[in-house]
Amino acid sequence: MVGLRSLILLLSISLSPLIGLSQICESGLGYCDSESVLSSKILIKGGTVVNADHLEVADVYVEDGVIVDVRPNIKVSDEFRVVDATGKFVMPGGIDPHTHLAMEFMGAETIDSFFSGQAAALAGGTTMHIDFVIPVRGSLSKGYEAYVEKAKLSCMDYGFHMAITKWDDTVSKEMEIMVKEKGINSFKFFMAYKGALMINDELLLEGLKKCKSLGALAMVHAENGDAVFEGQKRMIELGITGPEGHALSRPPVLEGEATARAIRLAAFVNTPLYVVHVMSIDAMEEIARAQKSGQKVIGEPVVSGLVLDDSTLWDPDFITAAKFVMSPPIRASGHGKALQAALSTGILKLVGTDHCTFNSTQKSIGIDDFRKIPNGVNGLEERMHLVWDTMVESGQLSVTDFVRVTSTECAKLFNIYPRKGAIRAGSDADIIIFNPNSTFHISAKSHHSKSDTNVYEGRSGKGKVEVTIAGGKIVWENEELKVVPGSGKYISMPPFNYLYHGIDKADENYFASFKAPLSPPHPHHNHDSV
């Protein structure tokens, strides 16, 4: 029945926007009303406008999806919607750099589609995310086409990273197409998941060289996949089959080793590196060491790593324990605090979620063998609230820093700033109104994800997103979502972000240090010459 309704929904969207709207509202698949979908002029009055570098009391005037003006006491003559933000913060909507919606993985597909995952994000103040396209049998183009299809349900703006799972001339050429024609400026290499997504050092080196030639950002999932495979065998031999075996089989030392290896290989190629979901002190310290030596390495913690610890993996109830299984694993108490400190001092630059949700039925596939539990936790809806409560309320981050780590830095790294990540004239009208004196409460009963569990179940804290404006429309207000599938836009992201400034000079100095005559590379020797 749900399949039939979804089919009717998609047909209605393609036939007519107006039919689509009424069908969606009646079907229960969307949360909407026609007024919110069609209103285009909004005046946000009296709030404290917060950007990553500055805050001021000012009004914000929005028209047709764009911020038109930011200054005190704006007067507008036309008909418009006034939103009172007195005593509240007006901030750029969050940008989540790390999500997996409708992803096929470990024999299951993540429970949140591009519609339900994005609806949850909007309810939590995130107005854009960047999802990972997984190649289809190694083909980047087929993977891209599959994700374009999945994203037709989107109700907010999104971009794509691309995973690389094998290497040949076709993949190399497809990477160029992705950067030059499809608006993808980052590629992810999995150093884990042996026999599935994992790549070896030879492939990683080829990938790093190609990223450098294209001006794309190389990203790594840093765990030693061969050692993890060995650790898993060891646990099974010891008779440890429950969720705790997951954490025990891939300890922090394996994350530290792979992080160090990726950093050193990136230094060898001289290209920037982005380490996704930094979960341990071991990995964080490798990143800090590299940065201290002047290397361009970005570390991304995720909310689960900042606020949870691994004690839940020993819960006697399998469903409770299994919901916390993700990779790299949530670590022992102490790692989270160290990651928070690294975020507050700028060693770690921005916060993602790795939102990759499987429900309790899907997780139960691994009830007799932790290796079969689909990896992933939620976070798209909870990220902004938890980062505020954990980092700002504790005094570890300022209000402007909060905007930087949840929005602006991501926009800069993926080269879409100031279109995104800023409250200023000309920027997209992706805005949240945040009440620092309100409180939030997290529960699977009230969240907007389709998952029946939540790893932050029962948590409460200070600070609440009261209004979300995405694409110039009010989509979250008075605890109500008003969103329509198909209303989100794909955001094309150009190459050569700020990390690439100075790379050429560093290369020149490196070659000059050889003190040997150099011949220019021949085109047939250097496939990566631009």
What whole-number distance in Å separates Cα of residue 125 and Cα of residue 434?
9
The DSSP output letter for 392 is: I
Alpha helix segments (H runs only) across 298-448: 303-307, 318-322, 335-344, 360-363, 383-387, 399-403, 409-413
Helix (H) or strand (E) holding 512: helix 503-512
In a domain, 417, yes or no: yes
In a domain, 20, yes or no: no
In a domain, 275, yes or no: yes
CA atoms 298, 327, 142, 159: torsion sign: negative
What whole-number distance in Å separates Cα of residue 338 and Cα of residue 505?
35
Cβ distance 432 to 518 under 8 Å? Answer: no
In a domain, 525, yes or no: no
The number of folded domains in the chain is: 1
Q: Residue 441: give the domain boundaries.
A: 91-504
**CATH number of the domain encompassing residue 130:** 3.20.20.140
In a domain, 37, yes or no: no
In a domain, 24, yes or no: no
- pTM equals 0.92
Cβ distance 144 to 133 under 8 Å? Answer: yes
Strand ranges for 364-430 from DSSP E: none
Q: Which residues, including other chains, have CB under 8 Å from residue 429's CB and lie 6 or more apart?
A: 42, 62, 65, 66, 67, 469, 471, 472
Residue 191's SS3 state is: coil
Q: Residue 134: what residue type? A: I
Helix (H) or strand (E) holding 149: helix 140-150
The tens-digit pLDDT sequence of the chain (530 residues) is 334 434 333 333 333 333 233 333 433 445 654 444 446 899 999 999 999 999 999 999 999 999 999 999 999 877 889 999 999 999 999 999 999 999 998 888 999 999 999 999 999 999 999 999 999 999 999 999 999 999 999 999 999 999 999 999 999 999 999 999 999 999 999 999 998 999 999 999 999 999 999 999 999 999 999 999 999 999 999 999 999 999 999 999 999 999 999 999 999 999 999 999 999 999 999 999 999 999 999 999 999 999 999 999 999 999 999 999 999 999 999 999 999 999 999 999 999 999 999 999 999 999 999 999 999 999 999 999 999 999 999 999 999 999 999 999 999 999 999 999 999 999 999 999 999 999 999 999 999 999 999 999 999 999 999 999 999 999 999 999 999 999 999 999 999 999 999 999 999 998 889 888 888 765 444 444 33
